Structure formats: structure tokens, C-alpha cells
Amino acid sequence: MSIAENLAAVEARMCAACDRAGRTRRDVTLVAVSKTFPAEFVDEAIAAGVTHVGENRVQEARDKKPMVRGSARWHLIGHLQSNKAKDAVRIFDVIETVDSVDLAQKIARASDTARDVLLQVNIGDEPQKSGVAPADVESMVRQIRTIEGVRLIGLMAIPPIGDSRPHFRRLRELRDRVGLEHLSMGMSEDFETAIEEGSTMVRIGRAIFGPRG
């Protein structure tokens, strides 16, 4: 199937999930994750209606974005090393993986306008994953909100493999507690569950672009 056909299938599944949850499709932003795929695939997705593109690595996006002809908002969804903050703010409109006050401050210093950021939460308390502990979210949100140059708009998480619903529900409860707007949760294998649990951004790669080599 083509990228346009894959995208149409994803859109139909998103609409059905929104209907089940009593939500509207416009409540959920689709971020098409193009990591490892070339610029022409991104252009094909944009031509088919994609308006948000996600990349995992600063270097890959730095090389790819200038070759993309279409217009979209770019999201960094992979771990950001603090020494790459300057590059990140030149490339990305949204940085979803802030996991410390220090990183938020570096992004702010590197930005000439307020940068939209999300706080990454290690919702499953997994030692191999980045993100702040759920118990630290409220304190971290209070601190980041005081930093000029970043605009904290939501929480982001990658749940443990398996039953993701309770983790999505926990992240939504944390978001509601701290009064943020967005929830970035849900990928190709579980985005429908994420939408049912309140996600406002889903990060979908394989279901749109196909399997990675």
C-alpha cells in the first residue's frame, strides 16, 4: 500500500477511536514519525495530508529537513542531549522529550522565541528509559513553568510493552492534576487505546510509512 493509503487507514482508525471515546477527530494531532525514512517519503506524507512530522534524532532531522519541500511542524520525539539543544531549536517546532530543568533552561537560552515543549514521563518506572519519575512530575512542572523561553504544553510517555491502557490512564491523571493541555501518547501498536484514554498527540510511524529496514 502507498503512504496515502496507509494514512487513510490510520485516519479511519483514529476517527473510530474518537467516536468510541466521545471525542472528535480534531481533538487529536497525528505526528507522522519518519525516522530512517528519506525526505521524499515525508513529502509524500505531507502531500497526503500530514501536518506534523516526528523525528527521533537531531542529526537525522538536520540532514533531512532541508530536503523536504512540504510544510509541516516538526517534533523531536527522541532523547535530547543537552549539548544539542541549540541544533534542536533550529530544527524543531516542538520538543517532546524534556526530562530535566537543566535541559529546559538550555532550550530556553538557545531559543529566540518561546519553544513548545512537553515533559517526558517514565510512566512505567523503567530504568532503561528516559523521563522523570511520575512522583516528580508536579515539582518539575512547577519549575519549568517559571522558565522564560519555553512553553510547557503537556506530558509525553512511552509505556512499557504490554497492556498500555493503565499507563495511559495514569499519565492522563497526572496531566489533569498539573493542568496541562496535551498528552503525547500512543504509537502504531496502541494509538487507538491512547485516544480512548485521552491522548491529544499520537506518534505513528510504521502504520504510515511501513516497516523499517
DSSP 8-state assignment for residue 41: H
Please report where in the chains the cell 518561546 appears, as a residue: 114
Amino acid, single-letter form, for residue 83 = N
What pLDDT, on a 0 to 100 scale, did the predictor assign at position 212? 80
Can you give the pLDDT at residue 203? Answer: 98
Give the closest residue to 167 by CA, choosing from 210, 113, 138, 131: 131
d(CA 137, CA 157): 12
Place of cell 497526572: 174
pLDDT at res. 159 = 95
How much is the pTM?
0.96
Q: Is the distance from CB of 75 to CB of 94 less than 8 angstroms?
A: yes
C-alpha cell at 1: 500500500
Sign of the dihedral defined by the CA atoms of residues 103, 109, 111, 115, in that order: positive
Long-range pairs for 16-22 at CB < 8 Å and ≥24 separation? Answer: 16/192, 17/191, 17/192, 17/193, 17/195, 17/196, 18/195, 20/196, 21/195, 21/196, 21/197, 21/198
Domains of the chain, each with CATH number or no CATH: 3-209 (3.20.20.10)
pLDDT at 150: 98
What is the pLDDT at residue 213?
65
| pLDDT score, position 1 | 87
Spell out, as residue ranges, where the chain has pLDDT lower than 50: none
Per-residue pLDDT reduced to its tens digit, 138-159? 999 999 999 999 999 999 999 9
Q: For the purposes of burial, counting CB atoms within 10 Å of the CB of 153, is it exposed (0-12), middle (13-18) or buried (19 or more)?
A: middle
Whether the Cβ atoms of residue 143 and residue 101 lie closer than 8 Å to each other: yes
